Structure 1
């Protein structure tokens, strides 16, 4: 799995228990999946269609650095399906795993639009 981004757990990210609020982590993940999809499909109009079971496996505390990793499972005609994991960068302990998230490429009217992609592309290879 390729880990693409890091987030620093700050006081405003904590729940009343003093650990990372799950909703904050899910927002970070959804944003990272959207950014990854925008780059892969070369379209800024992307929506999250589906997210499978979310498995919270451990927690994080203030000061921890979280890494978010993504792997492509498959390319559909109008979508891309991704696997995601967030882990503690220092301990490598998995905090959350999501087996499948489907991101859909849409047109200016919000309707699914074919993207024509069949494999991962790296920006450096497009230049």
Structure 2
């Protein structure tokens, strides 16, 4: 899992208990996961179809920096399924895990599901090429 993005927990992100509001965390998870899926499938005509089980494990407090780890779990004909792990940047403690987030590519005209032409293998190869280009992956 690669940690690709970070957010600072601000006062307007807090609940009555002065910790990160679960609804705000879900908003961030949906947005970060969508950006990841858009980059993977190279299209921005995607919709969130499903978000599976979400387990909140520890709180995030005002001033904490949270980071989002994302990974591709599965690739369908018109869909991609990702996982998103939210953790505290400083302590590495898991805040929550959102598993089985499904995005579906839509035809921009008909708004119906459309094939994206990607496979899990092609996405893994694409990611390796991108990481090598950024010098983030050692040569084999």
Shorter-chain TM band:
over 0.9
Number of equivalenced pairs: 126
- Gap runs ≥5 in structure 2: 134-140
RMSD after superposition: 1.5
- Gap runs ≥5 in structure 1: none
Once residues 117 and 55 of structure 1 are traced to their aligned partners in structure 2, the CA distance between those partners, rounded to angstroms, is: 29
Once residues 60 and 68 of structure 1 are traced to their aligned partners in structure 2, the CA distance between those partners, rounded to angstroms, is: 13
Report how far residue 124 of structure 1 moved: 3.7
| CA distances 1:4-58 after superposition (whole Å, capped 9, x unpaired) | 1000000010011100001111111100111111111111111111111110111
What TM-score, normalized by structure 2, do the two folds share? 0.85
Counterpart residue number, 1:24:
24
Counterpart residue number, 2:97:
97
Counterpart residue number, 2:117:
116
Q: Which runs of 4+ in 1 moved over 6 A?
A: none
| CA distances 1:72-102 after superposition (whole Å, capped 9, x unpaired) | 1111000001111100000000000022111
Output aligned runs, 1:31-70, within 5 Å. Answer: 31-70=31-70
| 3-state secondary structure, aligned to 2:40 | helix
Once residues 78 and 36 of structure 2 are traced to their aligned partners in structure 1, the CA distance between those partners, rounded to angstroms, is: 15
What TM-score, normalized by structure 1, do the two folds share? 0.93
Counterpart residue number, 2:88:
88
| CA distances 1:94-117 after superposition (whole Å, capped 9, x unpaired) | 000022111111111321000001
Q: Which structure dedicates a bigger proportion of its chain to helix?
A: 2
